[in-house]
Structure 1
């Protein structure tokens, strides 16, 4: 009877040894990160816990060959932004589900010796583990966010990855990029100048023209799936594993926002070629110019249709079917 009572008490004793939110919440800095050192490594890295552990492994010193870590300081800013967003934007109950840790291997050699790291930096995310005392950062399974040149410079990539794991919504803003702003501002300024000085003076009936453009934009974005994309919260732009923009999604089940704009442009181009060939006889051109413009419109129309077909085959590779 006594043995039975002792066994019933064992789960209570086990849960009492679980690392809890209150045990380490006071170790957070202003951004919500906890610095791991040799003094607290054993306490923080081992034993069951009821929260996610987001461990950023970095270094503040150069290696034996004098090389400085390329992305360590850069990605630390991303980790701090996501950590601070979790603290300030989510409820206290939701923010309790994760702790952010930063381990500088130049200040804490224990982790490097246990796990055998050869490259830096790393972003490791350990799920909650409450089964037994065998949990440890050096031996337990984890998710890994791959730090590349693009992901180190864009905090939204890590924020999106982390939000999907926890099934939460957080907002993170990019730092202001002067070069990017200058490029977009210059492109807009040139386009606005050409539109105002070169194109608008050649349009006799401006209200009718802009009404036509607005109407066509509404029609084409509707028939190419804008509503479908909006209702399903599909992103405007997505990137593949190499960081390249994906203009067309593979498969007919859904489409990116930029895919709508691309298809709309192709439809408008094909429509312009068709209308141009219909209206061409009304221009009363001489035979040589008439033939030249006709050939140009035909070539553009044929190329546009062939290009549209190739894009469609990305979504449905077996088109056209041989059956």
Structure 2
């Protein structure tokens, strides 16, 4: 099976642009790369697929990396995600159909037993979340305190894993440790079912992120879902990063909050029932502007009001660390509707 997969992967790489046009149709070609939001064909520029071998021969055609999550793979992974393939056989059969290759007859041997949950699936994400411990008095609390995030009420979505496996990339030092402590954030749907997790690997003392090439990665089914803090309600907050949203909760602790994890995923979040006004903490970059525009367009069709929130610096965690809670709250006060400022702001 491994040899067959390798052969098909090479054949797909020879047709990398055609594969991208079929399975990542919402992306676009730029130079030697195909850019798109993620493996689920979300519009954006986070994920890039190499369409041809790099001039120095180091970069292979068909390889991709998601700059937001740090995940990477080949075109078989793209096909598996695009077609929601549940097994390797389904993925290989779809690849053969794309390449106009005949499908071999089914084997009469019983399928091999799989005791291990496939990596990257919602099931694997739920196992990792279940193996995590409370963040209180943990290295996660130490790390968040270093970011001036100390009020952790309503943060049941977060967990602490003392030895979370880290898959090195080609950008990592060969001597990088195979496991680090990590903050595990549950990604849930509107019913509260865990569909994925986001991992932030931490330094061994919790003082900062781990010294690895990609200290943040997500796994599982993310599209439409997010990391949720507090309860859904008539008024809510949404944004990209976990630390950005936790920073806002330091001065608005009773407001329900959703972290979408990337601009592309923020733009695609599903709206909870009863939501009337959504404040969007946008990042000051083209991707953040695009996410805000998409959310506004989607919300207008359902009667939900979208109100942008702008930090003074690059994001609200930078504001919290540089200016403190009172000035952060003061900046938010004039951007919130008066009744929401009165109801949700605790200082400023």
**The two structures share one fold, judged by TM-score above 0.5:** no
Name which structure has the greater RCO, CA cutoff 8 Å, separation 6+.
Answer: 1
Name the larger-Rg structure.
1
TM-score by length of 1: 0.28
Structure with the bigger percentage of helix: 1
TM-score by length of 2: 0.26
